[in-house]
């Protein structure tokens, strides 16, 4: 087992993890001994979070060099927690299977994505964690705890911020493989999207709107599942050449467009796994709102669009179906999400983000657990009906606080 004593930065480069040691065990036995013998420890995934949800001033552990497991069954796949979605998708498609949903980036790890409620887009698509049927995690004594749907703790154990233990394996729902084609509509009036939101976002299996909130139009990515009827909406004009979500950025990292059918794993993400997707040094934030308030949210953001655009690479609007996971930002409600990819300039971005959240918070906004927010922790927790139940789980699964960190403590203080 190796341990890094040198500073490690996250993917975006906006923070350096405070941990003095980052361990990389090569076997489950090594991981078990490490967890049992270490007073405070947390798991670090692929480092795609923009805040300190995964950080600790004690030990961290990465699972990326544990033996990779991908066990495909009839309607599920069991996968080791450190596996990237890109690697999982390749194996599944080769075996004739698919996941129903993927995030914009296939570079991210399965366990980290599920722990923070990360999602793709689609009126029928729940967050990635909602595909989990069983979860295995290592408790403070180094022993494995197994939970499945039907267990009382299961809805609180999947989107759990890494606070209940070190997740080692997950079992996900799968389905037969399918093909997707994607096309982009340009110069779509934002007024049209706000007024006919259901038609726009129901026009394909997965739909995303990109805009800077300053102009009057946006660009809509339509990912159609081959063999399924699409919606009738066709606003704006059809793109005749490939597009990148960020205007002016080379399009090579973007997945294939122009209505060319291809495997689900090569079309549902916005970006190819073998290339860096970033527009450059960036920050990200995202807010989930009840779907029905989308028109009000559009109006609120456009009122301050000139402020937003000054520090923004691009904004994205997506839809997420409701789920039953206690800390999922889509818990109990079909949601619309407003994502912001900001310039990596915290001093300039923070006041604008605060202004955005002041406008959207009264509409019921819940921030993404792995991205930046200016909302106070108690204000955020107050938006989750099962927050008290999750706090009880923390005490039940980790009574000594081995897996806690300052981020978790700020939202769920010790009794």
SS3 238: strand
User: What residues pair up with 348 in beta bridges, in sequence order?
Assistant: none
Short-list 271, 139, 123, CA closest to 203: 123
Quick: pLDDT tens for 84-124: 999 999 999 999 999 999 999 888 999 999 999 999 999 99
**pLDDT computed for residue 11 by the predictor:** 87
Could you tell me the pTM of the whole model?
0.96
Quick: pLDDT tens for 268-284: 999 998 877 665 689 99
Query: Is the pLDDT assigned to residue 302 strictly greater than 70?
Result: yes
- At residue 235 the predicted structure's pLDDT band, cuts being 50, 70 and 90, is very high
Quick: pLDDT tens for 18-34: 998 999 999 999 999 99
**pLDDT computed for residue 107 by the predictor:** 86
Short-list 217, 185, 214, CA closest to 201: 185
Query: 189 with 195: CB under 8 angstroms?
Result: no
Angle between helices 294-303 and 346-360 (to 10 degrees): 140
Average pLDDT over residues 387-411: 98
Domains of the chain: 2-62 (3.30.43.10), 70-176+385-400 (3.30.465.10), 180-375 (3.30.70.2520)
């Amino acid at each position: 087992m190796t341990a890094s004593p040198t500073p490690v930065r996250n993917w975006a480069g906006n923070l350096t993890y405070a941990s003095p040691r980052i361990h990389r065990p090569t076997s489950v036995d090594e991981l078990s001994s490490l967890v049992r013998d270490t007073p405070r420890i947390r798991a670090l995934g692929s480092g795609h979070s923009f805040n300190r949800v995964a950080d600790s001033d004690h030990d961290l552990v990465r699972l990326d060099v544990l033996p990779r497991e991908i066990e495909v069954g009839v309607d599920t796949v069991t996968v080791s927690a450190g596996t990237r979605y890109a690697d999982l998708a390749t194996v599944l498609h080769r075996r004739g299977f698919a996941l129903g949903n993927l995030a914009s980036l296939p570079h991210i790890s399965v366990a980290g994505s599920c722990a923070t409620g990360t999602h793709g887009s689609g009126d029928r698509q729940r967050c990635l964690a909602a595909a989990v049927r069983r979860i295995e995690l290592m408790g403070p004594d180094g022993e494995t705890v197994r939970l499945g749907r039907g267990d009382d703790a299961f809805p609180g154990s999947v989107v759990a911020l890494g606070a209940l233990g070190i997740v080692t394996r997950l079992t996900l729902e799968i389905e037969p493989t399918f093909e997707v084609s994607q096309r982009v509509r340009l110069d779509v009036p934002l007024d049209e999207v706000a007024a006919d939101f259901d038609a726009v976002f129901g026009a394909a299996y997965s739909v995303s709107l990109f805009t800077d909130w300053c102009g009057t139009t946006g660009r809509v990515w339509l990912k159609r599942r081959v063999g399924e009827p699409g919606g009738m909406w066709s606003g704006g004009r059809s793109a005749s050449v490939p597009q990148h979500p960020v205007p002016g950025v080379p399009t090579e990292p973007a997945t294939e467009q122009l209505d060319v059918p291809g495997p689900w794993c090569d079309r549902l993400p916005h970006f190819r796994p073998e290339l860096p997707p970033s527009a450059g040094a960036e920050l990200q934030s995202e807010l989930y709102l009840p779907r029905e308030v989308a028109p009000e949210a559009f109006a609120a953001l456009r009122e301050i669009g000139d402020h937003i655009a000054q520090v923004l690479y691009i904004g994205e609007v997506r839809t997420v179906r409701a789920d039953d996971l206690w800390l999922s930002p889509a818990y109990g409600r079909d949601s619309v999400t407003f994502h912001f990819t900001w310039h990596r300039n915290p001093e300039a971005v923070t006041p604008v983000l605060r202004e955005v959240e002041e406008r959207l918070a009264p509409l019921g906004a819940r921030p993404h657990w792995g991205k930046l927010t200016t909302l106070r922790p108690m204000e955020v927790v107050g938006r989750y009906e099962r927050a008290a139940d999750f706090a009880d789980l923390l005490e039940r699964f980790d009574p000594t606080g081995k897996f806690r960190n300052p981020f978790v403590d700020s939202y769920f203080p010790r009794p």
